[in-house]
Amino acid sequence: MSEQAHNDARDALRLIGSGKAFRDELCNMIASTQMFRDFDWHDIEALSDYMQAYEASKGLTLFKEGDSGSYLCLIIKGKVDIYKKDQSDRKKIVASIGAGKTLGEMAIIDGEPRSASAIAAEPTTLTLLTKLNFLRIVNEKPGLATRILLQVSRLLSQRLRRTSGQLVDYLDH
């Protein structure tokens, strides 16, 4: 997907608040997620300076498999289905992500194409951390960046362990 097409996908999201007046609500949204619930309030406030909250209507594609990734999503309310294409190029649901969970974490780290597609299964409220803003955090607040990377590493490790456990059932003995 071209950068312009990618921006069009993000532009389909409806911004629900920004600025100082919305900051407390945004902080509460961020703190409610699995990824950031153990962060202290000072870190949550600092992180909120780099994020915005959006609403996605049911059926909205947040990103497509193969697109270049440039943001991670924190689901505040609602549900997002994750799809992968099979060998026949048919979309299969591989996961449903609900409130408090994250998706797209690898995008802010490796810059590789998206490994799956994400589509809002119902009206969904989410916050975004773009790769550009994460790189700003790395430069401006390296301690916070380190804590974020540790959390992303933990989440990815947990998912890999879970997937490895599920794959063992499919191995021929």
Write the pLDDT tens digit of every residue in 81-135.
999 988 888 889 999 999 999 998 888 888 788 989 999 999 999 999 999 999 9
Distance CA(131)–CA(34), nearest Å, equals: 20
pLDDT of 2: 37
Sequence-distant (6+) residues with CB within 8 A of 123 are 55, 56, 57, 58, 78
Q: Which fold has domain 3-132?
A: Jelly Rolls (2.60.120)
Long-range CB pairs of 155-160 (<8 Å, 24+ gap) are: 155/34, 155/35, 155/102, 155/105, 156/105, 156/106
pLDDT classification of 10: cutoffs 50, 70, 90: low
pLDDT of 158: 75
H or E, element range at 80: strand 79-85
pLDDT digits (tens, 9 = 90+) for 44-63: 999 999 999 999 999 999 99
Do residues 81 and 96 lie in contact, with contact meaning Cβ atoms separated by under 8 Å?
Answer: yes
Does residue 172 register a pLDDT over 90? no
pLDDT classification of 173: cutoffs 50, 70, 90: low
**Considering the chain, what is the average pLDDT of its residues?**
86
Domain locations in the chain? 3-132
Do residues 91 and 142 lie in contact, with contact meaning Cβ atoms separated by under 8 Å?
Answer: no
Do residues 71 and 130 lie in contact, with contact meaning Cβ atoms separated by under 8 Å?
Answer: yes
pLDDT of 28: 93
pLDDT of 165: 61
pLDDT of 4: 41
Does residue 31 register a pLDDT over 70? yes
- Predicted TM-score (pTM) of the model is 0.83
Using alpha carbons, select from 49, 41, 81 the residue that is nearest to residue 65.
81
The torsion of the CA quartet 117, 160, 97, 85, rounded to 10 degrees, works out to 30
162: phi then psi, degrees, rounded to nearest 5:
-65, -45
What percent of the chain is predicted at pLDDT more than 70? Answer: 84
The torsion of the CA quartet 28, 31, 136, 3, rounded to 10 degrees, works out to -80
